[in-house]
Amino acid sequence: MGPRRTAILLLLAASQACAQPAAVPPAAPNPPPAPVAAKGTPAAQTKRIFLPPPLQWDNAMLTFRPALQQTPSDFANLTGGIAFGMSAPAVNAHLPDPYPGLGWNGLPLANEYPGEVRYFGVPITLAGPLRIGLAACAGTASYVVFLFSERGLFRLSYRLIADKTCTDTNQAAQEIFYRYLPIGQTVARSMRYRSGKTEVVDITDSAAGYLIPPRWRQDIN
């Protein structure tokens, strides 16, 4: 385990208030050049569109169901094998550089959730397949948090923090959100919001029940 990983794990354990690992400075890709518009003549730009799976309605348009059959394996295909319900050591083992000796009791509590929820995080640069081939810059301090109830993994939370090298992480958040959106709400619930200076993308197990609503808030830390 490298010194950066050790530092983030130690700082994770030290911050009990909320599922927020401390910042570490891994290398980040350079941001793509922003389109420049001449003064008074805005340049034509193409906007990204988000395409959730379609719904199938009956002819009277009284009832609907998902038009596509999706299963947890569709989700696992996106995450390199990480699936909801996995234990913390099992998730850790799927990471490219796992933490040695990581166990449930050693994980800090995420106090924004009811009941016992624990977490650990990794810098997004060390998240392996969860980095999903980001083209946009993500900020050197950005990270992915894995949140666990006693039933296993129920949420992946991407926290994208702007910095001097990447002044806007909205594009990266859009890319991540875009990647998970085709997975229907019956399998995983994707949510995107901003908290303070952080862009957040939460991917939550649809079966997580009362653990679905809580959202991360930067200002309570």
Q: Does residue 27 interact with another protein by CB under 8 A? A: no
Residue 99: CB minimum distance to another protein, A: 31
Q: Does residue 14 interact with another protein by CB under 8 A? A: no
Decide: 136 and 172 in contact? Cβ < 8 Å: yes
Q: Which stretch binds another protein (CB under 8 A): 2-10, 42-50, 87-95, 117-125?
A: 42-50
- C-beta of 92 vs 204, nearer to another protein: 204
Q: Does residue 114 interact with another protein by CB under 8 A? A: no
Residue selected from 102, 189, 207, 218 as contacting another protein according to rule CB under 8 A = 189
Q: Which stretch binds another protein (CB under 8 A): 7-15, 43-51, 101-109, 151-159?
A: 43-51
SS3 of residue 11 by DSSP:
helix
- C-beta of 6 vs 69, nearer to another protein: 69
Nearest 10 degrees: Cα torsion 162, 208, 76, 72: -140
Residue selected from 36, 49, 115, 164 as contacting another protein according to rule CB under 8 A = 49
Q: How far apart are CA 142 and CA 149, in angstroms?
A: 23
- Those residues whose C-beta lies under 8 Å from the C-beta of residue 109, and which sit 6 or more positions away, are 16, 116, 117, 118
Residue 188: CB minimum distance to another protein, A: 11
Q: How many CB atoms lie within 10 A of CB 178?
A: 17
Residues in contact with another protein, counted by CB under 8 A, come to a total of 35
Q: How far apart are CA 187 and CA 206, in angstroms?
A: 5
Backbone angles phi, psi at 90, to 5 degrees: -70, -40
Q: Does residue 71 interact with another protein by CB under 8 A? A: no
Residue 170: CB minimum distance to another protein, A: 7
Nearest to 171 by CA among 56, 37, 33: 33
- C-beta of 66 vs 106, nearer to another protein: 66
Q: How far apart are CA 29 and CA 50, in angstroms?
A: 24
Residue selected from 16, 150, 193, 209 as contacting another protein according to rule CB under 8 A = 193
Q: How far apart are CA 98 and CA 126, in angstroms?
A: 10
Q: Which residues bind another protein (CB under 8 A)?
A: 37, 41-52, 54-59, 61, 64, 67, 170, 173-174, 177, 181, 185, 189-194, 215
